[in-house]
Amino acid sequence: MKYVSTRGQAPILDFDDALLSGLARDGGLYVPESWPNISADEIAALKGLSYSETAFRIMRLFTGDSIGDDDLAHLINDAYAGFDDPDVAPMKQLGENEWLMELFHGPTLAFKDYAMQFLGRIFDFVLTRRGKRVTIVGATSGDTGSAAIEACRGRDAIEIFILHPEGRVSDVQRRQMTTITDSNVHNIAVKGTFDDCQNMVKAMFNDTDFRDRCNLSAVNSINWARVMAQTVYYFRAAAGMYDPTAPVSFAVPTGNFGNVFAGYGAKRMGLNIEQLIIGSNSNDILTRFFEAGRMEMTGIHPTISPSMDIQISSNFERLLFELYGRDGNIIKDMMTTFNDTGSFSVGEKEMARARELFAAARFSDEETSGTIARIFAEHKQLLDPHSAIGVAAGRARRRNPGTPLIDLATAHPAKFPDAVRAASGQHPALPEKLSDLFDREERFNVLDNDLTGVQEFVLTHRTDGTTR
């Protein structure tokens, strides 16, 4: 399987090179040269398989000759072995023909673990095979940092530095990062905002000399392997229905468009998906797009669903590439326009095609709290604010009540205890594996909002063991 860039100018790569390069050299995102096909018989045969077996059957179509079958099976088994539910992604009935798929049984209680646990392992595997080491640098406002740290801890080929804004992430989120004491994990609390952290990370990648000295790398949401690993649970959800080949719809709380694009991929591979319903918070760039056919950047409003407080949905470029017949030149021009003017428009023909599959709805914090309260009252089921937005969007936009609707629950309610308690009056308890989180020792370094100082820190703490 080969990978091409959405902007058509970067080298065509094998799976393992696309994995390690993240962003393509022309600024585009890697996608498979063509979508692999899974027949209806093969989809029917997924029924009754374990999560790991399902993942193996799906992912081997994308990894091709780059990873041997035994190695891939081992990486997958290991990635999901530590999840705290034997089903890995269990489903609960929520209403008439409606199910909740719980994607919060990994180490950090958010759906990002489902891709990240695999990504950390396959990164380490490919690097070790090449005799290479990388330094991963990332900025986080919460969920991504802890998922990345959990995925990379203790891996020989990886040194990881995560920047978070000091005092501006929740206690649960901070402790999920700072209580990991493996010697290859470095938490930096920056005296500044999330934007300051993100700007420093960008500056480090743009500093070619620094980038090469550290062999800098990223595991962010545009990495193809994350999308690939996320297609798995769409197949698994359908396999849990009476007939895995019958139509299903999904409701997905969305920020960067990574999760819901994986659903699109599953559809292109042959899964019988009727609708993909997108839920936004008041950072509603995607919902406005599906209403008006126009993508337009605005400022960020903080909400009670902070993992969806985004200005641009970076993975959306992959859908555009598909809508425009995989013409990289068109995408390159559209992205240049977006960069220069803050907006771009999509033609009527392409919009009509997009609207056949996608629908979208936005919800204010007040509406989200109302959904948390209502679902608790009706079903005794606590939802985190992100998952609640998905459920609300699914209910508001589903076209056909006869088609099973699967709502993706993207975080455990205990990850956002204040918002959940305010909405429902219930205090969501942390799962057993994290019940001593507040007793664990924390380790992090507080640094000034100063690029040179942070770069110096990375350089001197890069080789494990020497400075501690």
Ligand X SMILES: *Cc1c(COP(=O)(O)O)cnc(C)c1O
Which spans of this chain sit near ligand X (rule: CB under 6 A)?
A: 110, 112, 143, 221, 253-259, 307-308, 386, 410-411
| Dist CA 272 CA 234 (whole Å) | 10
Closest CB to ligand X among residues 249, 254: 254
Answer positive or negative: Cα dihedral of 228, 72, 23, 109.
positive
Name which of 235, 232, 231 is nearest 45 in CA terms: 235
Least CB distance to ligand X at residue 258 (A): 3
Closest CB to ligand X among residues 112, 164: 112
| Dist CA 137 CA 132 (whole Å) | 16
Q: For 216, left (φ over 0), alpha (ψ -120 to 50), or beta?
A: beta
Q: Determine the longest span between alpha carbons in the chain, in angstroms.
A: 62
DSSP 411: B
For 447, the 3-state DSSP assignment is strand
Least CB distance to ligand X at residue 218 (A): 15
Q: Strands across the sheet with 13-14, in order?
A: 13-14, 2-5, 30-32
Question: Annotated catalytic residue: which of 47, 112, 132, 380?
Answer: 112
Q: What are the two backbone dihedrals, phi and then psi, of residue 121, each rounded to the nearest 5 degrees?
A: -70, -40
To the query of whether residue 112 is one of the catalytic residues in this protein, the response is: yes
| Residue 206 · residue 107 · CB < 8 Å | no
Least CB distance to ligand X at residue 414 (A): 12
Structure tokens at 64: 């091709």
Closest CB to ligand X among residues 267, 386: 386
Give me the residue label for tokens 């890697």. Answer: 30
Q: What are the two backbone dihedrals, phi and then psi, of residue 103, each rounded to the nearest 5 degrees?
A: -105, 45
Least CB distance to ligand X at residue 314 (A): 8
Sequential DSSP letters for 182-214: -TTEEEEEEES-HHHHHHHHHHHHH-HHHHHHH
Answer positive or negative: Cα dihedral of 468, 438, 180, 387.
negative
Least CB distance to ligand X at residue 21 (A): 20
User: How far is the first Cα of the chain from the last one, in angstroms, to the nearest whole number?
Assistant: 43
Least CB distance to ligand X at residue 294 (A): 20
Strands 445-448 and 358-362: unpaired
Closest CB to ligand X among residues 112, 174: 112
Closest CB to ligand X among residues 72, 79: 79
Least CB distance to ligand X at residue 407 (A): 12
Closest CB to ligand X among residues 178, 305: 305
Sequential DSSP letters for 121-186: HHHHHHHHHHT--EEEEEE-SSHHHHHHHHHHTT-TTEEEEEEEETT-S-HHHHHHHHT---TTEE
Least CB distance to ligand X at residue 256 (A): 3
Give me the residue label for tokens 């997958």. Answer: 76
Closest CB to ligand X among residues 124, 143: 143
Closest CB to ligand X among residues 143, 317: 143
Enzyme catalytic residues: 112
